[in-house]
Amino acid sequence: MSRLVVISNRVAVPKARGAAGAQGGLAGALNSALKKFGGVWFGWSGQQSEGGTGNINLQRSDGVTTATIDLSSRDIDEYYNGYANSTLWPLFHYRIDLAEYEREFGKGYERVNERFAESVAPLVEDDDLVWVHDYHLLPLGERLRSRGMKNRIGFFLHTPWPPTNLFVSLPYHERLVRTMLEYDLIGFQTRTWLESFLHYCGKELGAEVDDETGRIEFEGRVTHARAYPIGIDWDHLQSQMDTGEARQAGQRLLSSTRHRTAMIGVDRLDYSKGLPERLDGIGRFFDQNPDRVRDLVFIQIAPPSREDVESYQKIRTTLEQKTGQINGARSEVDIVPIRYVNKGHSLAELCGFYRAAKIGLVTPLRDGMNLVAKEYVAAQDPEDPGVLILSRFAGAAEQLTEALLVNPHSRDDISHAIRTALDMPLEERKRRYEALIKTVRDDNVQQWTEEFTRDLAGAG
């Protein structure tokens, strides 16, 4: 059986003996696959080392080998904060107004991808399956091929892929996609993102594209592109639901609501999540339904991310201002309508919060998938489930069709959905939940991992 080599920007390095087996989500699924196949997980350590020593730190825990390298401060500025998160991330989320096209960013991105290839190549054996992850490493397959690597190499993009008329705003866009066609298999979260990529390959590159099968033939080479919607780690989440930590968190939230319905949002502090627009929608709800300030409390959990990037600093300031304005206008002596929490919580705590909240508000402006929506559904009480309000521009909307789907740019749409959720009878809540839970339970992250690695093993 072939080994599996996973390559990603960051690696889930176990912190203690056995820790890898305790992880959930994508990290847990990839660790499970690595234990099944054997192999290595390679990426950046998250540490800074001036000059880039080239040293690889190898660790083995619970049957999984991790291999990490440090990056220099210049690498981090140009490759990570620069091209990956200030150029590609906004572009892939349709925010070309925020994308920064700096020549040095592009050079840093290519340099670090070259270094990744140089460092990982000696670790790859002839029959290994190589699985590269996400927008940080788009050209890595081509860099590995340039070293003579003939292995089956797959790539999965966790973000959206933008429409062609947006993607062509990227300098050297054609060169970037040409490097991607060195992969044997490319995976996308949804059919929508897949179709955008296939359209680009046909229109801009003149590749021969089969839209039904995802087969792309270009300059004598064949690549396959398909949709693989990622899921949650169902078993791990259920185990967290059964903990005292989850029960205590849920009880804390319930005891603090003063008999109001709790509505929850959990998002990284990121402009793609539509948090200012969400607060505008909530403000519109209270403007249209002032008497319901005693019926509803909204809890927004938004841990900070990428604090070195200016656009992230601005969004935090905007959220604090909007929260203060709504609370100032609608608070009573004993009631505050919005609670804004700028820190992270464990999965067990979040599960407790999800179960206690009768409305889940997940309204990104654009998202590759959005697993918070699926986690919220998975945490519900089958006998008294909550209602999921979901942006139709999240990848999850293609699967979770029984959620209340909204346009996150429309204050009135969000306001109407909140009122509908508040007033929804139990029978309808249960009907929607039963349809949603089947998808969430069955299309889980283990299934996703198995499907991709099986298709990669059979590719070309």
Neighbour-count burial for 274-283, b at 16+ CB within 10 Å, e otherwise? bbebbbbbbb
Percent of the chain with pLDDT over 90: 84
> What are phi and psi for residue 192, nearest 5 degrees?
-60, -50
Give me the domain span that covers residue 302: 234-442
Note whether 141 and 179 are within 8 A (CB).
Answer: yes
Tell me: do 194 and 244 sit in the same domain. no
Q: How confident is the model at residue 308 (pLDDT cuts 50, 70, 90)?
A: low
Q: List, for residues 267-307, the tens digit of each pLDDT value.
A: 988 889 999 999 999 999 999 999 999 999 999 999 877 66
Whether residues 223 and 262 share a domain: the answer is no
Phi-psi sector, 388: left (phi>0), alpha (psi -120 to 50), beta = beta
Q: What is the domain count for the chain?
A: 2
**CA dist list (Å): 246 to 73, 170, 179, 251, 354:** 39, 44, 45, 9, 10
Q: Judge contact between 194 and 200, C-beta under 8 A.
A: no
Residues 268 and 172 in one domain: no
Question: 215 and 192, same structural domain?
Answer: yes
CA distance 295 to 220: 63
Report residue 145: phi and psi, to 5°.
-60, -35
Q: Are residues 209 and 327 in the same domain?
A: no
Q: Is the pLDDT of residue 185 over 90?
A: yes
Residue 91: which region, alpha, beta or left (left: phi > 0; alpha: psi -120 to 50)? alpha
371 and 296 fall within a common domain: yes
Tokens 């093993």, located at residue: 457
In the predicted structure, residue 21 carries a pLDDT above the cut 60? no
- Residue entry with tokens 């050297």: 172
Maximal CA-CA distance, the chain = 71
Whole-number Å distance between alpha carbons of 252 and 260: 14
Domain of residue 61, CATH code: 3.40.50.2000
Both tokens assigned to 9: 């920007």
CA atoms 330, 350, 301, 434: torsion sign: negative
Clarify whether residues 331 and 374 are in a common domain.
yes
Beta partners for residue 215, in sequence order: 210, 224
- One-letter amino acid of 337: P
Residues 77, 93, single domain; the answer is yes
Residues that are catalytic? 158, 367
Question: pLDDT tens for residues 328-385?
Answer: 999 988 899 999 998 899 999 999 999 999 999 999 999 999 999 999 999 999 999 9
d(CA 47, CA 364): 30
Same domain as 170, residue 126: yes
Q: Both 211 and 258 in a single domain?
A: no
Q: Are residues 185 and 151 in the same domain?
A: yes
| Residue-level pLDDT at 1 | 61
The C-alpha torsion from 350 through 417 and 268 to 113, rounded to 10°, is 120
Residues 339, 428 within the same domain: yes
| All residues at 6 or more sequence positions from 34 whose CB lies less than 8 Å from its CB, including other chains | 4, 6, 40, 41, 63, 64, 65
pLDDT tens profile 34-68: 888 889 999 999 999 876 566 899 999 877 899 99
Burial environment of residue 271 by CB neighbours within 10 A (0 to 12, 13 to 18, 19 or more): buried
